[in-house]
Amino acid sequence: MEGDAFSVFAITALRLAGHLTAAGDQLAKPAGQTSARWQVLAAARRGGMSVAQIARALGLARQGVQRLADVLQREGLIAYADNPQHQRAKLVRLTEEGAARLGVIEMAQAGWADGLGAAFTSAELDAARAVMARVMEMLEAGETAGG
């Protein structure tokens, strides 16, 4: 039945995420970063977002992203800019040093993704991604409803 198929799907997704995080750490290591920091740097480049907004975009707890951002700010990779919309919620901005580090990571990431992606068709990857996204939507709906 679908419940069993879903359980196997979920267990596989959790194990895959572990491997992807490990791979991301390896990609980010030459730039002295990690998977988590990379995500925050990428959000900082988009610009115009506060820490809380970045946390929501990444699906993480606000406080965890705050801690990462504070570290990155002390290291000079991101900077806090005044937010005309909100006195306390500073906007996160990528510094030149941060952009350089992010560039190193993304160069490596592009080659990595090309290499792994070559073993699949775009249709396969997109179909799998669509199923994952639908599951995520349902989970998010449940989280909002349940507390």
Task: Tell me which of its own copies, DNA, none is bound by residue 53, counting a contact when its beta carbon lies within the kind-specific cut-off of 5 to 8 angstroms.
Answer: DNA
Task: Tell me which of its own copies, DNA, none is bound by residue 64, counting a contact when its beta carbon lies within the kind-specific cut-off of 5 to 8 angstroms.
Answer: DNA
- Nearer to DNA by C-beta: 25 or 109? 25
List the x/- string, 90-119, binding to DNA by CB under 7 A: x-----------------------------
- Nearer to DNA by C-beta: 67 or 130? 67
Strand ordering across the sheet containing 49-50? 49-50, 86-94, 78-83
Question: From CA 64, how far away is CA 68, in angstroms rounded?
Answer: 6
108, with CB counted inside 10 A (0-12, 13-18, 19+), is middle
How many angstroms separate the Cα of 35 from the Cα of each of 13, 63, 85, 87? 17, 17, 30, 30
> Judged by CB under 7 A, which of 13, 30, 48, 67 binds DNA?
67
Question: From CA 61, how far away is CA 68, in angstroms rounded?
Answer: 11
Only segment of 45-53, 73-81, 97-105, 118-126 that touches its own copies (CB under 8 A) = 118-126
By CB under 8 A, residue 84 contacts its own copies: no
By CB under 8 A, residue 108 contacts its own copies: no
Size of the site for its own copies (CB under 8 A): 58
Positions that interact with DNA (CB under 7 A) = 18, 22, 25, 34-37, 50-53, 59-64, 66-68, 70-71, 85-90
